[in-house]
């Protein structure tokens, strides 16, 4: 579904990602692991169109590199960004409506908002309150729901467990497992290696802007070597 080839990502004069290849098939959950500053967010930004990049990113065989952010969203790319980035001053309801802003089927959108509220009642109970009043975990749920309300074909999740308590993290990964059951295609960026490996089919490890290893999740066993690699431990 998504094919990335020779991707380089730039922030001004800095080349943050140095020509990587990533492939994601329909219904797969692919995980991108790596230490701080490895280039994970930069990679996601090049897919959504918010960072300057060269190389190719193809969605269903069509190169999307020349498309605007909005056009990529219309083609089915959605992101729950690092740090949630919900609209804190807007109500919870308006955040959800914003998620579906590109859609024309507003009646269906309204129904889907109610369906999501039945999954996460807090979003309904407090729908008219500013989204910034939600807890970190609730904001993460809202960020994922907002992304899903655009009806994506592929969902990019940037560190959804960052800063969350273990119980809330478990809930976030439960949601990812549910989405997988519904055959959502997911590219997951995580630092929580164990939890990420549990939900992923395929793993890429990014180090200093380059892929240092990749393979089916089974290739990495219990993930302990992977964790050592990410923490720079040499045995």
> Toward ligand ATP, which CB reaches closer, 97 or 226?
226
Burial pattern 147-182, b for ≥16 Cβ within 10 A else e, equals bbbbbbbbbbbbbbbbebeeebbebbbebbeebbee
Q: Which is nearer to ligand ATP, 42 or 161 (CB)?
A: 42
Question: In the set 6, 11, 125, 129, which binds ligand ATP (CB under 6 A)?
Answer: 11
Least Å distance between CB 218 and ligand ATP? Answer: 24
Name which of 44 and 149 has its Cβ closer to ligand ATP.
44
Tell me the closest approach of the beta carbon of residue 108 to ligand ATP, in angstroms.
34
Distance (Å, whole) CA 234 – CA 132: 42
Helix 92-99 / helix 106-119 crossing angle, nearest 10 deg: 130
> Residue 14 interacts with ligand ATP (CB under 6 A)?
yes
Q: Which is nearer to ligand ATP, 42 or 169 (CB)?
A: 42
DSSP-assigned letters across all residues of 195-225: HHHHH-SEEEEEETTEEEEEEEGGGGTTSHH
Shortest Cβ 11–ligand ATP spacing (Å): 3
Return the residues of window 18-57 that contact ligand ATP according to CB under 6 A.
34, 36-42
Binding mask of the shown chain, residues 50 to 89, with x at each position contacting ligand ATP by CB under 6 A: --------------------------------x-------
Q: How many residues bind ligand ATP (CB under 6 A)?
A: 13
Q: Tell me the angle at which helices 166-181 and 136-148 cross, rounded to the nearest 10 degrees.
A: 20
HSE (side-chain half, CA atoms, 13 Å) at 210:
2
Closest CA to 47 of 79, 15, 12, 18: 79
Interface ranges with ligand ATP (CB under 6 A): 11-12, 14, 16, 34, 36-42, 82
């Amino acid at each position: 579904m998504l094919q990335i080839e020779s991707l380089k990502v730039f922030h001004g004069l800095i080349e943050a990602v140095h020509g990587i290849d990533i492939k994601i098939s329909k219904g797969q959950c692919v995980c991108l692991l790596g230490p701080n500053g490895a280039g994970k967010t930069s990679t996601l930004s090049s897919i959504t169109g918010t960072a300057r990049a060269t190389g190719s990113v193809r969605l269903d065989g069509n190169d999307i590199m020349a498309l605007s952010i909005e056009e990529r969203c219309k083609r089915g790319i959605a992101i729950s960004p690092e740090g949630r980035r919900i609209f804190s001053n807007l109500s919870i309801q308006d955040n959800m409506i914003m998620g579906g802003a590109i859609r024309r089927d507003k009646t269906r959108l309204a129904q889907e908002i109610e369906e999501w509220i039945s999954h996460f009642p807090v979003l309904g109970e407090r729908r008219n309150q500013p989204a910034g009043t939600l807890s970190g975990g609730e904001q993460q749920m809202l960020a994922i729901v907002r992304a899903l309300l655009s009806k994506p074909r592929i969902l990019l999740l940037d560190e959804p467990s960052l800063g969350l308590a273990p119980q809330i993290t478990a809930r976030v990964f439960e949601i990812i497992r549910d989405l997988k059951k519904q055959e959502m295609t997911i590219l997951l960026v995580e630092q929580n290696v164990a939890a990420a490996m549990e939900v992923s089919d395929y793993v890429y490890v990014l180090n200093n802007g380059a892929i240092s290893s990749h393979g089916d999740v089974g290739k990495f066993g219990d993930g302990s070597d992977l964790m050592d690699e990410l923490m720079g431990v040499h045995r």
